A and B are shown apart, each in its own frame.
Chain A
Amino acid sequence: MSGKPGYHGVILNIDLSTGKSEKVVVPPEDLDNFVGGQGLGMKILWDRLKKPGVNPLSPDNPLMFMPGPFSGLPVPSSSRTCVVTKSPITSPVKSDYPHASTVSYSNIGGFFGPEIRFAGYDGIVITGKATELCYVVIDDGKVEIRDAKKFRGMRTDAFDKAILSELGDRRFKTVYIGPAGENLVPYSSILHTAGRAAGRGGVGCVMGSKNLKAIAVKGSGQPDVADHKRFLAAIEKARLALRNSAFAKAMAEQGTARAIVGNSNAGTEAVRNYREGTFPEADKISGDAARRDVWVKDIACYCCPLACKKSGVTRGKYGGIVHDGPEYETGVMLGSNLLISDMPGLLKAIYTLDDLGLDQISTGNVIGFLMEAYEKGLIDRNFLDGIDLKWGNVDATLAMIEKIAARDGVGDLAAQGVRALSRQIGQRSEKFAIHVKGHELAAHNIQANQPRGLSYATAQRGACHMSGDNIAMQNKRAMLDSIGLCLFPTFEPKLEEPMLSLLSAITGREYDKAEFEKTGERIFNLEKMFNYREGFRREDDRLPDRFFEDAFTIGPKKGSVLDRNQFDAMLTQYYKDRGWDTETTKPGKLKLKELGLDSI
């Protein structure tokens, strides 16, 4: 143990090849410099993968579940765990290494991260590969690898019940993959509580490559804090800030789904494979509609007063239980992006994706691409194994989802993502293959939102809507993903001061706004160093041609399109401000020295 307050000072390392697990002490300076969560995960990734080009699906690639210093303490909204690994999805235009790819991070709410800390660890690092499908049980200090062959192919909803039934104790918190992850679909997700996902960046595929079906954690301990009195005072302030927050109330009311109508009206929604920014039928899949017709209950993550998650039930042909949704991302990617406005059908698609363990965003994006290619006659029904994949067709969408998860027929190609599909189809289809570095874009459209375009282009896991629209936001969010706090409550400006005070009180290290962002900048730059070493350059920070060529034809932002020169100029300025080379994007020596990254 390091004895550093706010931390246990150890991660749990589990090598599935040997079956051995051990507590590994984290160097105290790493906790100071990289904090936890995404940051500490990236430092471990950097340390473990000393050379570029490691195959992300090889036993060498570590898969990490990283809570932060807030996790396990009753700080409002401190539920997040960051899954960190090397991406099985991305690749650069050119590289000397066949398996070159970016870092990957994917954030998940719920109860898993806090439970890791209750069990006595600041993170779980999985390496190696089991010979047969297995799952890991962690009960405080006791670690056990168990056979999971009987669970092979089991969908996540059924598995969520089955594993707790087998463990016989509902206090275990579990994460697991579905059939898609077992089948190594690159954009597979990792599920928690059947309705929460670390969706992006292919983390479920890496888990599948290790023959790891699930991890169950239960713990009884808790890390200490550096300044108990200050912690109590700051937590009171944080609660107060959120109690009186109009934003927090809005999240409780509709979750992120409230943006489905809002962004459509603003012309910033992904509609018809990003062809448009406004969906005339947005109200049919909106938070209002869901509240009226679907939702039974609001659901919150650990100690969160926002409760942005919902559960409900639909009836009719596509009827069934709804674990979540529509959220903004799921509702748009499977709704407006595919011109689906049938609420039960939309929710059936969302449920099925979670059930199979597929990323909602990438899958919605892939199906949107195929619908457009089909409409344009670039592919025929034969190519689609007989599926009539027309805009708005729910049955066809569900059929395609099943094929992707099973990697059956056309699903095997579709599972490789829009970039692979467009290479196969050709005929200039790459223009509307909506990805950056091979990672599909999310539900925010950008013809009328250039800053979000910068987020997509420069984010470290490939296209990412969460990374931030400018340098300050990117740095701040890298940090949020590292402390274990959710992004959403931080939209309440009054939370900032208590948040900084809490981090200082927990770790005993004084954080003001500048130090907070500086630490985030260090994390972001370490990720850039990793990606640069793999071979990613400026040519990889490019957006699909659609955004520069296809102006919106409807909605309030009709006529909007990005200007290539303007966007390039913005990128150049971005690299300059970052202290990176504007041609190669290599982080400059001065910047690395300033951040203390020159020595690693």
Chain B
Amino acid sequence: MDREKKETDRSNKGTNFTRREFIKGIGIGGGAVVLFGQFGVHGLAWALSGDPQLKMVLVDYAKCTGCRTCEAACSSRNRPVSIDHQELPGLGNPRYANIRVHSFNPDVDVPSVCAMCADTPCVKACPVDPDSKTGRRALYRDQATHTIYNDPGRCIGCRSCAKACAGQRTGVIIPNPATGKPERMCTLCGGDPQCVKRCPFGALSYVEVRRDRKFYGLGPEKIAAELGKSWYGIADFGGIK
């Protein structure tokens, strides 16, 4: 499927350029900081990186308004409904979104989504023995899409993957409260991430990234603390982990 153009591009027309550029520079997730303003994220290639090149959803935190349209868009695609034997997008209940916006006081909004980690600590934590044919544990990385999948038939609901993700990376994997089986791994919507497409503020991009980016794999609290310090001179958000 061809990638459709993002819904809007509210660039900084009419705003004070210097200040906005400054703020934006602080807000982007990573090594892209310098290049972003001039060339745009989509033009970036990370030829120098020795890591596998993985495409993922990149956040420009300065542009995120915390509206959570991405959550609804994600849920709508990844939780379809069947009507008259036809599969249609769902109503976008954010309970089923794989991207989650964490909102803080003072105002910092951190959309958190699977970091597509090259070294997959979640998969490594899975205690289920690899399948003799496929070599897959219950949790595995799909070689074609590079996204993380769980085989619910083999998953024992031990929550090890969620713990590894929370301890070492973003903490996006949440065990189902009833079964303990992992949820909320990004599917990239088959190569057309709906969160990116639907963001009204152009805060999300679908790009190749490398893992020495500034905010790579960090949990939302750590990112918020960093941004809060830069924007407001404060890193205290009331002590919720």
B233 within 8 A of A: yes
How long is the Cα–Cα vector from A143 to B76 in the complex, in angstroms?
A: 29
B65 within 8 A of A: yes
A291 within 8 A of B: yes
Q: Closest CB of chain B to A320's CB: distance in Å?
A: 9
List, in ascending order, chain B residues with CB within 8 A of A313's CB.
Answer: 231-233
List, in ascending order, chain A residues with CB within 8 A of B107's CB.
Answer: 195, 296-297, 299, 311, 323
Partner-contacting stretch, out of B44-52, B66-74, B118-126: B66-74
List, in ascending order, chain B residues with CB within 8 A of A150's CB.
Answer: none
Contact in complex: A232, B8 (CB < 8 Å): no
The answer to whether A303 and B72 touch (CB under 8 A), given A73-B92, A118-B93, A296-B231, is yes
A146 within 8 A of B: no
Contact in complex: A292, B10 (CB < 8 Å): no
Chain B, residue nearest A250 (CB): B14
A281 within 8 A of B: no
Contact in complex: B23, A303 (CB < 8 Å): no
Contact in complex: B88, A229 (CB < 8 Å): yes
Residue of B69, B88, B108, B238 near A74 (CB, 8 A) is: B69
Contact in complex: B68, A303 (CB < 8 Å): yes
List, in ascending order, chain B residues with CB within 8 A of A220's CB.
Answer: 93, 95
A243 within 8 A of B: yes
Q: Closest CB of chain A to B57's CB: distance in Å?
A: 18
Chain A, residue nearest B8 (CB): A243
A550 within 8 A of B: no
List, in ascending order, chain A residues with CB within 8 A of B231's CB.
Answer: 296-297, 313
List, in ascending order, chain A residues with CB within 8 A of B91's CB.
Answer: 73-74, 222, 224-225, 228, 231
Contact in complex: A249, B66 (CB < 8 Å): no
List, in ascending order, chain A residues with CB within 8 A of B66's CB.
Answer: 299-300
List, in ascending order, chain B residues with CB within 8 A of A298's CB.
Answer: 65, 201
Contact in complex: B95, A296 (CB < 8 Å): no
Contact in complex: B83, A118 (CB < 8 Å): no
Contact with B along A176-216 (1 / 0, CB 8 A): 00000000000000000111000000000000000000000
A555 within 8 A of B: no
Chain A facing B: main interface SS: mixed
Contact in complex: B89, A232 (CB < 8 Å): yes
B43 within 8 A of A: no
List, in ascending order, chain B residues with CB within 8 A of A296's CB.
Answer: 23, 107, 231-232
How long is the Cα–Cα vector from A111 to B233 in the complex, in angstroms?
A: 26
Contact in complex: B240, A170 (CB < 8 Å): yes
Q: Closest CB of chain B to A67's CB: distance in Å?
A: 15
How long is the Cα–Cα vector from A313 to B16 in the complex, in angstroms?
A: 16
A160 within 8 A of B: yes
List, in ascending order, chain B residues with CB within 8 A of A111's CB.
Answer: 68
The answer to whether A221 and B65 touch (CB under 8 A), given A164-B240, A228-B88, A313-B233, is no
How long is the Cα–Cα vector from A1 to B73 in the complex, in angstroms?
A: 28
Contact in complex: A307, B65 (CB < 8 Å): yes
How long is the Cα–Cα vector from A301 to B107 in the complex, in angstroms?
A: 12
The answer to whether A303 and B69 touch (CB under 8 A), given A311-B106, A321-B232, is yes
B81 within 8 A of A: yes
Contact in complex: B67, A157 (CB < 8 Å): no
How long is the Cα–Cα vector from A448 to B104 in the complex, in angstroms?
A: 43
List, in ascending order, chain B residues with CB within 8 A of A311's CB.
Answer: 106-107
Contact in complex: A291, B76 (CB < 8 Å): no
B149 within 8 A of A: no
Contact in complex: B73, A74 (CB < 8 Å): yes
B200 within 8 A of A: yes
A284 within 8 A of B: no
Chain B, residue nearest A240 (CB): B7
How long is the Cα–Cα vector from A452 to B195 in the complex, in angstroms?
A: 41
B36 within 8 A of A: no
Contact in complex: A299, B65 (CB < 8 Å): yes
The answer to whether A161 and B237 touch (CB under 8 A), given A224-B91, A232-B88, A253-B15, is yes
List, in ascending order, chain B residues with CB within 8 A of A427's CB.
Answer: none
How long is the Cα–Cα vector from A221 to B239 in the complex, in angstroms?
A: 28
A304 within 8 A of B: yes
Contact in complex: A118, B16 (CB < 8 Å): no
Contact with A along B51-80 (1 / 0, CB 8 A): 000000000001001111100110010000
A162 within 8 A of B: yes
Chain B, residue nearest A219 (CB): B95
Residue of B95, B102, B201, B234 near A321 (CB, 8 A) is: B234
Contact in complex: B16, A307 (CB < 8 Å): no
List, in ascending order, chain A residues with CB within 8 A of B239's CB.
Answer: 161, 165
How long is the Cα–Cα vector from A439 to B135 in the complex, in angstroms?
A: 72
Which residues of A, 300-348, contact B by the 8 Å Cβ criterion? 300-305, 307, 311, 313, 321, 323
A168 within 8 A of B: yes
B85 within 8 A of A: no
Residue of A157, A162, A221, A243 near B200 (CB, 8 A) is: A243
B19 within 8 A of A: yes
B103 within 8 A of A: yes
Chain A, residue nearest B221 (CB): A170
How long is the Cα–Cα vector from A291 to B23 in the complex, in angstroms?
A: 12
Contact with A along B83-100 (1 / 0, CB 8 A): 100001101111100000
Contact in complex: A297, B88 (CB < 8 Å): no
Residue from A170, A252, A292, A301 whose CB has the most chain B CB atoms within 10 Å? A170
B179 within 8 A of A: no
Residue of A195, A307, A323 near B67 (CB, 8 A) is: A307
How long is the Cα–Cα vector from A35 to B129 in the complex, in angstroms?
A: 55
Chain A, residue nearest B7 (CB): A243
A546 within 8 A of B: no
Residue from B15, B67, B105, B234 whose CB has the most chain A CB atoms within 10 Å? B67
Contact in complex: A301, B232 (CB < 8 Å): no
List, in ascending order, chain A residues with CB within 8 A of B68's CB.
Answer: 111, 302-303
How long is the Cα–Cα vector from A88 to B75 in the complex, in angstroms?
A: 42
How long is the Cα–Cα vector from A165 to B221 in the complex, in angstroms?
A: 13
The answer to whether A305 and B103 touch (CB under 8 A), given A232-B89, A243-B7, is no
How long is the Cα–Cα vector from A298 to B199 in the complex, in angstroms?
A: 14
Chain A, residue nearest B73 (CB): A74
List, in ascending order, chain A residues with CB within 8 A of B240's CB.
Answer: 164-165, 168-170
List, in ascending order, chain A residues with CB within 8 A of B104's CB.
Answer: 170
How long is the Cα–Cα vector from A111 to B23 in the complex, in angstroms?
A: 26
Residue from A194, A224, A242, A298 whose CB has the most chain B CB atoms within 10 Å? A298
Interchain residue pairs with CB less than 8 A apart (19): A160-B105, A165-B239, A169-B240, A170-B240, A222-B95, A232-B89, A243-B7, A243-B200, A252-B201, A292-B16, A296-B107, A296-B232, A298-B65, A298-B201, A299-B107, A303-B67, A305-B69, A313-B232, A323-B107
Which chain A residues have a beta carbon within 8 Å of chain B's beta carbons? 73-74, 111, 118, 157, 160-162, 164-165, 168-170, 193-195, 220-222, 224-225, 228-229, 231-232, 239, 242-243, 249, 252-253, 291-292, 296-305, 307, 311, 313, 321, 323
Which chain B residues have a beta carbon within 8 Å of chain A's beta carbons? 7-8, 10, 14-16, 19, 23, 62, 65-69, 72-73, 76, 81, 83, 88-89, 91-95, 102-109, 200-201, 231-234, 237-241
What 8 A-B pairs come out closest when comparing CB atoms? A161-B238, A74-B72, A305-B200, A300-B67, A300-B65, A311-B107, A74-B92, A222-B93
